[in-house]
Amino acid sequence: MDEYSLNRELLDGVDKVLFSSQQIQTRVEELGSRISRDYVGKKPLLVGVLRGVVFFMVDLMRTIDIPLEVDFMSISSYSPESRNLGLVRVVKDLELSITGRHVLFVEDIIDTGMTLNHLLRTLKARQPASLEVCVLFDKGKNRQIEVPIKYKGFDIPDAFVVGYGLDYREGYRNLPFVATLNPQSIRSE
Ligand code: 5GP
């Protein structure tokens, strides 16, 4: 998709493009090659949280050239306060068992790290053979808890971003690039 010929309505409220679709694809391919090498003979199980990770998961899977499996879970926050603590409710659990499997947790973006920390603890309790993290965007600056990231796409400034699966109130997910929103459009919604 050419970013300059996108529907104007879709671009409404978009401020600055931080990562073009081409930049993202190139980096995803690099991650996929590393993962393919590291997991030879291990048939990794890629696990993601719906729905933001869908673009990244699908593109990443296409660049991995060894056998793998994939599964998704879905979470929701009890309240804004509990969300800040990373306490989330699993709304849809994984369908596959991860016990004894080499699990690669694939995440679109990590900010404070609280959500990921909570989810990793939940998954570890199921005794996978190994559990690693692959994240596309890392905000770093706001990290409140150390989480081990084995594969990282990009460091990203501390700004709210949308596109490539990431939403603002469910919108903008289908932008092919990742961009900031202008502050007025965030406030006026
Ligand atoms: P954390 O617990 O690391 O603070 O939060 C991670 C989750 O917050 C991500 O999985 C994502 O759902 C959401 N999130 C954090 N930063 C952004 C952002 O800039 N844009 C969007 N769309 N979601 C974000």
Q: Would the pTM count as exceeding 0.85?
A: yes
User: Which atom number of ligand 1 is nearest to the Cα of residue 111?
Assistant: 3
Q: Of 88, 158, 166, which is best to mutate to test ligand 1, by the most ligand atoms within 8 angstroms of its C-beta?
A: 166
C-alpha 128 – ligand 1 centre gap (Å): 25
Q: What share of the chain is helix, strand, coil (3-state, %, to 5)?
A: 30, 30, 40
How many other C-beta atoms can be found within 10 angstroms of the C-beta atom of residue 68?
A: 18
Judge whether 111 counts as a catalytic residue. yes
pLDDT values of the chain reduced to their tens digit, one per residue, 189 residues = 556 678 888 888 999 999 999 999 999 999 999 999 999 999 999 999 999 999 999 999 999 999 999 999 999 877 777 766 767 889 999 999 999 999 999 999 999 999 999 999 999 999 999 999 999 999 988 899 999 999 999 999 999 999 999 999 999 999 999 999 988 877 554
Task: Name all domains of the chain by residue range, CATH numbers in brackets.
Answer: 8-185 (3.40.50.2020)
Nearest Cα residue to 148 out of 176, 123, 116: 116
